[in-house]
Structure 1
Amino acid sequence: MRVLVVGCGRVGTGLVAQLTAEGNDVRVIDRSARARHRLPAAFTGSFHEGNGYHRTVLEEAGIEHADALVAATSADTSNIVSARVARDVYRVPTVLARMDDPRHATAYQELGIPTVAGVRWTVHEIHRLLTHRHLAPELAFGHGETLLLRARTPDHLVGRRLAEFDVAGEIRVVEVTRAGRSLVPGEHTRIRGDDLVTFVVAATSLARLRGFLGKDLGT
């Protein structure tokens, strides 16, 4: 997985260390050249000096082939811009952003960009969302505790009832797009080939949903 991490502070360096240890292709962007010295000794990726929303810097870091971008600077406004450029201009599949000031939550929600707040648990939370990037959230609520996401149901689930996915307090199926038409599933609605299903899921239950969808999801 190629991941661009914008911001080389506590959150950024912690995430870089974890992703690097797992063998991912990590590219780091920071406005200060001195930030390079904060990176772990095992870091094998590339460092790029500049703003994480400037196209020249992003393209130099390889955004056109990125699987994910994480905007992890200490400035919420910069993170919003970086995330939006990555998603809207370069169509990066997974875009996540750190948020420190809850007053900015509405702006992130309107853009449909999943956010993680605070420093102490941000690295863990972002890493978990990246791990389940094939279940990319379309909308996040609160500080990212609850997610709205869509996924195609794999062939081996055809014929199963959609209600089997529902887990109280964790996962709920709220919509199905079938042959271009949207419907709200009932208790006995069964999966058909190529259904696009909309889930509301607790962020802590992504692994459980991934397990339900099973073998046809990538890693």
Structure 2
Amino acid sequence: MRVIIVGCGRVGSTLAAQLVTEGHDVRLVDRQPKARRRLPPAFPGTFHVGNGFSRPVLEAAGIVHADACVAVTSGDNSNIVSARTAKETYRVPVVLARIHDPIRADVYRDLGIPTISSVPWAVSRIHQMLLHRHLTPELSFGNGETLLIRSQLPAYLTGRQLTEFDVDGEIRVVEITRAGRSLLPAHGVLAEPGDLVTFAVAATALGRLRGFLDKELGT
């Protein structure tokens, strides 16, 4: 996958380093030539100096054939212009943008651009780690509003239907790993000893999920 990253700060450089180790074609754009120093030695991707919303700069970075563009500069205005240019001018299939002011998230959403907002994500993660230490998310979506949680079921829940754990709009069992094999929960499937269950859960319902796992349902 060819990825254009606009902004070679801490986020951009770390993301670039991870993507290249996974075999992706990474092209970075930053206004400051010295930003290149944040990249690891012998970085195999390319680095382009200039504004991330400049068409000549983006084209030199290969945006015409890009599969994704990520705008992660320190400025919200720069990110939104870069993201819009990638999405509307070059029709890049996947466009993401970082924002520092969560109030602006609605602007991006109206433009159809998914955003990563530092403040809500950080607050959500800190809250999870403080209050739900034994429920570590495997994956989060949006700004952390929806999580994937894996947990081994307590022995006292053995024999209960897994669909009993579903709470509309809050918690849903989406996968079971049983004896090393993964399966999707069908109606009527009962919990067995040693089941490792994956829950999709709203961040606001973590307390409720913890209650499910700490005591028997309905008590």
| Structure 1 length-normalised TM | 0.56
Write the deviation string for residues 177-199 of structure 1: whole angstroms up to 9, x where unpaired. xxxxxxxxxxxxxxxxxxxxxxx
Q: What secondary structure is seen at the aligned counterpart in 2 of 1:112? A: coil
The residue aligned with 2:88 is 88
CA contact (8 A) 1:21 1:42 kept: no
Output the CA distance in 1 between the equivalents of 2:144 and 2:120: 15
Q: What secondary structure is seen at the aligned counterpart in 2 of 1:69? A: strand
Output the CA distance in 2 between the equivalents of 1:68 and 1:170: 31
Output the CA distance in 2 between the equivalents of 1:120 and 1:70: 19
CA contact (8 A) 1:105 1:143 kept: no
> Residues 44 and 97 of structure 1: is their aligned pair in 2 closer, same or farther, counting only changes over 3 Å?
same
Aligned residues: 138
AA at the equivalent of 1:28: L
Higher RCO (CA < 8 A, seq sep 6+): 1
The residue aligned with 1:9 is 9
Write the deviation string for residues 106-141 of structure 1: whole angstroms up to 9, x where unpaired. 11111110011218979xxxxxxxxxxxxxxxxxx9
Output the CA distance in 2 between the equivalents of 1:41 and 1:203: 41
> 1:144 Cα deviation (Å)?
6.9
> 1:170 Cα deviation (Å)?
6.3
> Residues 143 and 121 of structure 1: is their aligned pair in 2 closer, same or farther, counting only changes over 3 Å?
closer
CA contact (8 A) 1:115 1:144 kept: no
> Residues 64 and 73 of structure 1: is their aligned pair in 2 closer, same or farther, counting only changes over 3 Å?
same
> 1:84 Cα deviation (Å)?
0.5
Q: What secondary structure is seen at the aligned counterpart in 2 of 1:91? A: coil
CA contact (8 A) 1:105 1:142 kept: no
Output the CA distance in 2 between the equivalents of 1:9 and 1:120: 20
Output the CA distance in 1 between the equivalents of 2:22 and 2:84: 27
> Residues 107 and 120 of structure 1: is their aligned pair in 2 closer, same or farther, counting only changes over 3 Å?
closer
**Equivalent runs, 1:1-219 vs 2, <5 Å:** 1-118=1-118, 143=143, 145=145, 169=171
CA contact (8 A) 1:70 1:96 kept: yes
CA contact (8 A) 1:68 1:95 kept: yes
Output the CA distance in 2 between the equivalents of 1:85 and 1:74: 18
> 1:13 Cα deviation (Å)?
0.7
> Residues 67 and 117 of structure 1: is their aligned pair in 2 closer, same or farther, counting only changes over 3 Å?
same
> Residues 30 and 119 of structure 1: is their aligned pair in 2 closer, same or farther, counting only changes over 3 Å?
farther
AA at the equivalent of 1:41: P
Output the CA distance in 1 between the equivalents of 2:46 and 2:76: 24
Output the CA distance in 2 between the equivalents of 1:76 and 1:96: 12
AA at the equivalent of 2:51: N
Output the CA distance in 2 between the equivalents of 1:120 and 1:13: 22
Gapped runs of 5+ residues in structure 1?
123-140, 147-165, 172-200, 205-219
Gapped runs of 5+ residues in structure 2?
123-140, 147-167, 174-199, 204-219
Q: What secondary structure is seen at the aligned counterpart in 2 of 1:44? A: coil
CA contact (8 A) 1:69 1:94 kept: yes
> 1:105 Cα deviation (Å)?
1.0
Q: What secondary structure is seen at the aligned counterpart in 2 of 1:27? A: strand
Output the CA distance in 1 between the equivalents of 2:202 and 2:83: 20
